[in-house]
Amino acid sequence: INNLVYFHKNKFMKISFILLFTFFIGLSLKAQNIPVGSIDMIEQRSRNEQLLGNGNPLISHTLRPLALDLIDTTKTNKINSKKLTLKALPITLIQQYNTFAPYGWNDGAMIPAKGYQTLLSAGLFAQYGILSVQLKPEYVFAGNPDFETFPLNETSSVREINAYYLNHSDLPSSFGDQSYSKINWGQSKISVDYKGISAGISTENLWWGPGQRNSLIMSNNATGFLHFTLNTRKPIQTFIGSFEGQIVAGKLESSGISSPKSQFIIDGNDHEITKNNDWRYINGLSINYQPKWVPGLFIGLNRVIQVYRNDMGNNFSDYLPIIIPFQKKNLNNEDPKNRDQLASLFFRWVMKESKFEFYGESGWNDNSQDLWDLFQAPEHSRAYLLGFNKIFMLNKTKNKYLKVSFETTNLEQSADRLVRPAGAWYQHGIILQGYTNKGKVLGAGIGPGSNLQTLDFSVWEKDKVWGIQVERYAHNMDFFYDAYSDYKLKWMDFRLNTYIYKRYGNLGIQAKINTAVLGNYQYQFKNNKLNMQFNISLQYQL
């Protein structure tokens, strides 16, 4: 009874607080962000508009989340510093069902799970002068039934390699043996915004780089992590061109879940390594430049460094290691600091005259010793993605068009591994969780050592989008080459994905049917399986 009284008392206080806010409602929502992967596809539509010659040509679309007013001119009213602005954020409900095995990525707080799963999100946005508060928590539930995992009847040598990969990442083969339920802060933030610059604390998902299906360094594949951010909210124009950038300092957490113990018991011996479950400090930088002499071209750099909190020093460079040199020869006693880093260079080139764009990102999983080392073996520890978009108009009024997209992502090690292995992307010998947060990769959702090619056709109208994707997905090729010598055992998936989005007034509905033929599932010859993923998402603006 006391608990019930306490609950209702707190609920009354929260309602009173909201009512007090509503007394001061204003008009402007200038500091609101669009969540990465918003189901209304407004981010993609804005990128399309650039190819059509509309919108702001200086927006790189390589640094997200985007500010709402940056791509929606109806939200550019001047701030009334004497009034408090308050608005309910859209209510979002995402539901999906996998018939055979966990499938899908770029779904944030959702987990890799078979069966039914749902994510519910809602919240409030408030602004007073330059201060803004966005509260948008997320609730996730997954039935999480058992599914077929890596077989225990494999040879001992193969199982030991599988255990090695499990020991050097926080990517559980299954998220426990019970249903999953979790509430997190979701797409929430508190920030101060002044003249195009924003500083604050956030748990929003970030996306760095030009990729659409994957990003090498930062994406919405994992749950958003708590971080301090200093970033531009719009392109900063100078006499040599415009710049966008972001610096983050945050906290990465372990999933707290281990793969089944049976995966580690081999010939009666336990091969599991106990991980340091201390939280990890991450410091990252993304910056891009649009030269004024080459319209439509964006070039940029991403860099992230992580370290266990109990391994951190107390110097300025320990809290801001992104300022240290890239080359190991210019660093003193770097190895004892137990830090891991990822870095990438990227470009995006928009050619609005031909309604075409080309983009790419090349990343490295390790430091080069010096410039000669980089020149001699640029493919060492590298990964890359390349892609393009092309628009074809379908009617004379130019309000309906076909978009053709292609993207290839390669995380598999190059042939340089034969003389100097670099380890699978997102996996390191120091940080045993790898580059993850709460059990999922922060970068490309296809995971370490994997490759993906995506061909996408979509038709766009004012309030409607429909499309079809064809994909080839090669699972962890680094593990395959370590464990097997028979080329017939590669685990390759053929995926056929269809999707549609339609808006009805304040309600947006997105539906997907993804069909995957899993060839040699879990690297077992002719163990071919079929997985169907059904997804329906609703977004309602109050």
* Mean per-residue pLDDT, 520-528: 96
Whether the predicted pLDDT of 144 surpasses 80: yes
- Mean of per-residue pLDDT scores for the chain: 89
Q: Count of H helices and E strands in the chain?
A: 7, 29
Q: What is the pTM of this model?
A: 0.90
Q: Which amino acid is at 250?
A: G
Cα three-residue angle 13-19-20, rounded to 5 degrees: 90
Phi-psi region of 338 (alpha: psi -120 to 50; beta: other; left: phi over 0): left
Cβ-based burial of 468 (10 A; exposed 0-12, middle 13-18, buried ≥19): middle
Cβ-based burial of 144 (10 A; exposed 0-12, middle 13-18, buried ≥19): buried
| Residue pair 268/190 in contact by the 8 Å Cβ criterion | no
Closest by Cα among 24, 196, 49, 221 to 124: 24
What are the DSSP calls for 212-281, one per residue? SS--SSB-SSSPP-EEEEEEESS-EEETTEEEEEEEEEEEE--------GGGTEETTEE-PPPP--S-EE
Element of type H or E holding 197? strand 197-202
CA distance 409 to 500: 24
Whether the predicted pLDDT of 62 surpasses 50: yes
The band of 5, judged by pLDDT with boundaries at 50, 70 and 90, is very low
| Residue pair 339/305 in contact by the 8 Å Cβ criterion | yes
Cα three-residue angle 532-107-444, rounded to 5 degrees: 100
Q: Give residue 1's pLDDT.
A: 42
Element of type H or E holding 14? helix 2-22
> Considering Cα of 250, then 225, then 386, then 353, what sign does the dihedral take?
negative
CA distance 169 to 259: 11
Q: Which amino acid is at 32?
A: Q
CA distance 246 to 458: 31
Q: Give residue 224's pLDDT.
A: 96
Is the model more confident about 227 or about 374?
A: 227
What are the DSSP calls for 470-524, one per residue? EEEEE--HHHHHHH---GGG--EEEEEEEEEEEEETTEEEEEEEEEEEEETGGG-
pLDDT digits (tens, 9 = 90+) for 299-316: 999 999 999 999 998 888
Q: Give residue 479's pLDDT.
A: 96
How is residue 53 annotated by DSSP? T
Look at residue 379 and give its three-state secondary structure.
coil
* Mean per-residue pLDDT, 25-52: 82
Residue 122 backbone phi and psi in degrees, to 5 = -160, 170
pLDDT digits (tens, 9 = 90+) for 228-258: 999 999 999 999 999 999 999 999 999 999 9
* Mean per-residue pLDDT, 391-414: 94
Token duo for residue 533: 């993923």
CA distance 385 to 341: 19
* Mean per-residue pLDDT, 483-506: 95
Whether the predicted pLDDT of 529 surpasses 70: yes
| Residue pair 438/400 in contact by the 8 Å Cβ criterion | no
Q: Give residue 177's pLDDT.
A: 87
Residues ≥6 apart with Cβ < 8 Å to 326: 343, 367, 368
Whether the predicted pLDDT of 342 surpasses 60: yes
Q: Give residue 327's pLDDT.
A: 65
| Residue pair 338/328 in contact by the 8 Å Cβ criterion | no
